[in-house]
Amino acid sequence: MTDVPVWVPVVAALSSGIGGIFLGRFSMSKKERADVSQKNYENAVAATAPVDDAYKSYVAALSTYSKSQDPSFDEFLALASSGDSYFTQVGKMCDAIIADKVDPNIRDATWLPKIKVTFERVLPAHYDALVTQAKKKGYRYTGKLRRSDHESVYTVAEKYSTTSAWLRPHEDD
């Protein structure tokens, strides 16, 4: 009788288990693929409303602040906090993209343009404006744009920056 090293059955068992996982992933039925696609579409639709609501609140706070002759500290805080809420929602969109839980058409046609504008313009302008206004008004404000605060936004920007959805011109370009 030949002696089989102990590791051989362990490797065989692990290999078959991992192989089964991959085979199951790539051999979904047409209905299962359709169900996953539908769920990803529903995820995208459900996640869009909170982002839009947070954006509206942010724009309202920005409008109030910019129209005020002498903006108050409360208006400054409303602008800062509504911006944070909006960026949190955009970050959740990015998390869903990273997790591949979003319909690709919605991702490319709707979400990536919003994320691009947020990444390239809104985030930097937000922090610059808050720092400038805090100095002007004498407020103590130490906020600044940090990758670590918006990691998923940076990750999506890096992953999709060479795609046609990211590179195409948008209305405000």
Decide which of 73 and 168 is more confident.
73
**Does some domain include residue 23?**
no
Confidence label for 6 from pLDDT (cuts 50, 70 and 90)? low
Among the listed residues 24, 85, 27, the one whose alpha carbon sits nearest the alpha carbon of residue 57: 85
**Does some domain include residue 18?**
no
2 has pLDDT over 80? no
Query: In sequence order, what are the residues at sequence separation of 6 or more whose Cβ sits closer than 8 angstroms to the Cβ of residue 106?
Result: 41, 44, 45, 48
Q: Return the pLDDT at 29.
A: 77
8 has pLDDT over 80? no
**Does some domain include residue 100?**
yes
Tokens of 27: 């051999």
Q: Return the pLDDT at 14.
A: 63
**Over the stretch 94-140, which tens digit does the pLDDT of each residue have?**
999 999 988 888 899 889 999 999 999 999 999 999 999 999 999 99
Number of domains in the chain: 1
**Does some domain include residue 134?**
yes
- Residue 11 CA to residue 68 CA, distance in Å, equals 69
82 has pLDDT over 80? yes
**Does some domain include residue 11?**
no
Long-range contacts, stretch 98-105, CB < 8 angstroms, 24+ apart: 98/152, 98/155, 98/156, 98/159, 100/40, 101/39, 101/40, 101/43, 102/40, 102/43, 102/44, 102/47, 103/37, 103/40, 103/41, 103/43, 103/44, 104/40
Decide which of 36 and 142 is more confident.
142
- Residue 2 CA to residue 159 CA, distance in Å, equals 52
- Describe the crossing of helices 151-160 and 73-98 by its angle, rounded to 10 degrees: 50
**Over the stretch 22-64, which tens digit does the pLDDT of each residue have?**
555 567 777 877 777 788 778 777 878 999 999 999 999 999 9
**Does some domain include residue 14?**
no
**Does some domain include residue 62?**
yes
Residue 158: which domain range?
29-167
| Stretch 140-167: mean pLDDT | 92
**Does some domain include residue 70?**
yes
